C-alpha cells in the first residue's frame, strides 16, 4: 500500500499541494522543509514513484499546486490536471513545481503557457552533484575501476585495463559554462587539466577570466582541440535543442573522451549514436534521447562506453537543496511572489534554465 503523508489535513480552508509521485530519496528532505508551508497550504505526499498518467490525474484531482517529482507530463495529462484551457472541465492545478532544472524535457512549456499554468523549477541545486558525477564517469573511462573490481573479485589480478590514463595535462573542452560547467572547470583545474569552453556569446567574459578558462568561439575548433569534451548545456527550446550537430561531432579526433551529463536533446537527434558507433570515441553518458533507455537501444551494444541511468543529480546535498527550493516555489506562488518561474500563469515564457 502506498504511504501517504499529509500536513494540516483538517485545514480545508487552505490550498492543496499534491506530490503524486516521488523518489524515495526525496521524501525525507522534502518533509524537513514542509513547516515553511504551515498556515499557507495543506500538503499531500505520495511516497512512491509512478509514471501512470491516470493515477497521477486521480491523485491531483483536487490540487491547486502539483509538485512533479519526476514523471513526464504528457500534453493530454497536462490538459486533464489543469482543466483544459483556463477553467475548462477537469482538474484545477494552477502551478506545477518541477523537481529539477531541465523542465523542458518533462513538460510542454508552450502548452502550459496556453493553459495558464505557472511552471517553476529549481536552479543550481545539483551543481556539485552533477560535476562530481562527471568526473566519476571520466575516471571510469580513464582507469576502468569497475572492470578491475570485477576481475579482482573473480580471482584475477593484472591484465587489460591495468594501465590507465591521467587527467593532468589533458585539454578539457566544456560546452556550457553555467553553474555546473563552472564547477567542472574548477575541479578540472585542480586536477591539472587545461580548460577551454565554448564562447556562446551569452556567458560573461568575466566568468572565463575568473575561472582561468580559455574562450573558444568556434565549436568545431573547440572539439577538435580537446582530449575530453564535457557537455553542460541546459535544454532551452529554440536556443539549445539540437545545438551540437553531427558536423560538430565529426571533429572529435579518435580517442577523445566524450561525456554528457546535461541533456541528450542538446545534441542533434541520432548524431551521437552514429558517431560513437564508429568505435573510436570512449564516451560516458548519463542522459538519453529516450528515458528510460530502451533495452534494445544501440548505445547498449557499443563497446568502450559507460552508461549510467540519469543519476548525476541524485546526492544527499542535491536533494536537500532541491526540496528547499521546491517548497520556496510553492510558497511564493501561494503568497503572491515569484521564485524560479519558468512559465508564468500570465503568459510570459522564460528560460528553462539560467546561469
Residue keyed to cell 560513437: 276
* Catalytic residue check, 263: yes
Q: Which of 263, 321, 328, 331 is catalytic?
A: 263
**Candidates 6, 51, 210, 291; catalytic one:** 291
DSSP H or E stretch at residue 68:
strand 65-68
Contact 223, 204 (CB under 8 A): no
Phi, psi of 237 (to 5 degrees): -60, 135
**d(C-alpha 138, C-alpha 9), whole Å:** 48
Q: What three-state secondary structure class fits 338?
A: coil
In whole angstroms, give the CA distance from residue 12 to residue 44: 13
Q: What are phi and psi of 13, to 5 degrees?
A: -75, -10
Catalytic residue among 44, 232, 310, 331: 310
Closest CA to 29 of 330, 317, 335, 333: 317
Exposure letters 308-331 (e unless 16+ CB within 10 A, then b): eebebbbbeebbbbbbbbbbbbbb
* Catalytic residue flag (residue 241): no
CA angle 52, 57, 63 (to 5 degrees): 140
Question: Under the phi-then-psi rule, with left for phi > 0, alpha for psi from -120 to 50, and beta for the rest, what region is 339?
Answer: beta
CA distance from start to end of the chain? 41
Query: Which residues lie closer than 8 Å to 70 by C-beta, 6 or more apart?
Result: 21, 22, 23, 49, 99, 100, 106
Nearest partner of 100 among 131, 122, 84, 132, judged by Cα = 122
Task: State the pairing for strand pair 341-343/118-120.
Answer: antiparallel
Q: Which of the 8 DSSP states describes residue 297?
A: -
Q: How many CB atoms lie within 10 A of CB 61?
A: 16
Which residues are marked as active site?
263, 291, 310
Amino acid at each position: 500500500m502506498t504511504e501517504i503523508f499529509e500536513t494540516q489535513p483538517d485545514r480545508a480552508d487552505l490550498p492543496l499541494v499534491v506530490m503524486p509521485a516521488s523518489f524515495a530519496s526525496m521524501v525525507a528532505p522534502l518533509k524537513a522543509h514542509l513547516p515553511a508551508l504551515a498556515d499557507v497550504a495543506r500538503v499531500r505526499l505520495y511516497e512512491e514513484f509512478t509514471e501512470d498518467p491516470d493515477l497521477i490525474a486521480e491523485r491531483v484531482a483536487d490540487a491547486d499546486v502539483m509538485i512533479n517529482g519526476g514523471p513526464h507530463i504528457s500534453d493530454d495529462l497536462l490538459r486533464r490536471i489543469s482543466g483544459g484551457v483556463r477553467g475548462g472541465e477537469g482538474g484545477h492545478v494552477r502551478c506545477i513545481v518541477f523537481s529539477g532544472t531541465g523542465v523542458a524535457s518533462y513538460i510542454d512549456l508552450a502548452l502550459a503557457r496556453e493553459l495558464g499554468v505557472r511552471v517553476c523549477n529549481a536552479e543550481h541545486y545539483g551543481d556539485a552533484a552533477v560535476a562530481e558525477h562527471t568526473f566519476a564517469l571520466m575516471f571510469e573511462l580513464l582507469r576502468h575501476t569497475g572492470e578491475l573490481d570485477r576481475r579482482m573479485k573473480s580471482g584475477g589480478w593484472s591484465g587489460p585495463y591495468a594501465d590507465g590514463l591521467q587527467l593532468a595535462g589533458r585539454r578539457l573542452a566544456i560546452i556550457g559554462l553555467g553553474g555546473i560547467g563552472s564547477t567542472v572547470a574548477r575541479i578540472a583545474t585542480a586536477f591539472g587539466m587545461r580548460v577551454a569552453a565554448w564562447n556562446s556569446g551569452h556567458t560573461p567574459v568575466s566568468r572565463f577570466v575568473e575561472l582561468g578558462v580559455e574562450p573558444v568561439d568556434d565549436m568545431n575548433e573547440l572539439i577538435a582541440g580537446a582530449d575530453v569534451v564535457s557537455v553542460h548545456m541546459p535544454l532551452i527550446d529554440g536556443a539549445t535543442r539540437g545545438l551540437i550537430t553531427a558536423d560538430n561531432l565529426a571533429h572529435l579526433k579518435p580517442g577523445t573522451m566524450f561525456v554528457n551529463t546535461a541533456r541528450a536533446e542538446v545534441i542533434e537527434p541520432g548524431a551521437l549514436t552514429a558517431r560513437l558507433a564508429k568505435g573510436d570515441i570512449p564516451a560516458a553518458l548519463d542522459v538519453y534521447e529516450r528515458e528510460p533507455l530502451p533495452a534494445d537501444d544501440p548505445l547498449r551494444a557499443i563497446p568502450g562506453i559507460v552508461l549510467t541511468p540519469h543519476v548525476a543529480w541524485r546526492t544527499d546535498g542535491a536533494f536537500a537543496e532541491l526540496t528547499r527550493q521546491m517548497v520556496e516555489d510553492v510558497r511564493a506562488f501561494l503568497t503572491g511572489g515569484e521564485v524560479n518561474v519558468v512559465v508564468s500563469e500570465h503568459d510570459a515564457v522564460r528560460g528553462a534554465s539560467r546561469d
